[in-house]
Amino acid sequence: MSRSRLVKLGLNIDHVATVRQARGGNQPDVMSVAWEGIRGGADGITVHLREDRRHIQDQDVFELKRTISVPLNLEMSVNEDIVRVAMKLKPEKACLVPERREELTTEGGLDVCRGRKRIQQVVCLLQARGISVSLFIDPVPGQVEAAGAMGCDFIELHTGCYANRKGARRRQELLRLEKAARLAHAIGLGVNAGHGLDYENVVPIAKLPFIDELNIGHAIIARAIFVGLRNAVREMRQLISSTSLRTI
């Protein structure tokens, strides 16, 4: 039986907190930005509580959880301190990501094969608290299969390589993403995607089979400088909606 569905948009607001932390204080206000994004059509709010707290702070995630009207997706490492915060917070969703202190942003997918034992522990802990768990991975069959063995709910496909390629090389990356999405669906995993997506490259990703949600931050926040956040989110929402309502 076929059905139509719409790919959801998760708005990542980390970069708003980066601007705030550059000067201290509370401007721009993270809560106000989250609500403006929701008014523009965001289906969820995503934040990464990093170990060094370089942008999003603990108080941000708890206030977001209390106040927003859409699901909160917490990107997080498997660090014990961060896991404790997540267990207390109980966001609707958590996405486990790799993290290195010296990186500007997450540079690649989680190595589920190598970190199997600790990742499995964290997946079980979070799910026991009623949290839907995703693993941020590269579109590699072995990683998809390892994620399935973890018993997680979703994977989030790392689209950074796709975003950084052009022409034939981008098409090759798109094919890798499609194969990974099909494999994940076949073994019972939900499929999200994100990293490096913008107004120019998002449409082919939104068209991929079995994608449930796209998490996008930097491009939307950058666009908001020119058109305002609500309009920037609305533009991205319209791009995704126009291409992702389909029969599968």
Please count the CA atoms within 13 angstroms of the CA of 176 that sit on its side-chain side: 22
**Catalytic option among 99, 158, 195, 213:** 195
What distances in angstroms separate CA 64 from CA 1, 120, 181, one per listed residue? 38, 27, 30
Catalytic residue check, 195: yes
Which residue(s) pair with 44 in the sheet? 10
Query: Which element (helix H / strand E) includes 46?
Result: strand 44-48
CB 11 within 8 A of CB 216: yes
Q: Pick from 82, 76, 211: which is nearest to 156 by CA? A: 211
**Catalytic option among 15, 48, 55, 158:** 48
Catalytic residue check, 48: yes
Which residue(s) pair with 136 in the sheet? 156
Distance separating alpha carbons of residues 241 and 235, to the nearest angstrom: 10
With vertex at residue 232, the alpha carbon angle to CA 230 and CA 238, rounded to the nearest 5 degrees, is 100
With the C-alpha atoms ordered 237, 227, 30, 86, is the resulting torsion angle positive or negative? positive
Cis peptide preceding 28, ω within 30 of 0:
yes
Distance separating alpha carbons of residues 20 and 134, to the nearest angstrom: 28
Two structure tokens written together for 55: 């942008």
What type of residue is 13?
Answer: I
**Catalytic option among 75, 156, 173, 213:** 75
Residues designated catalytic? 48, 75, 195
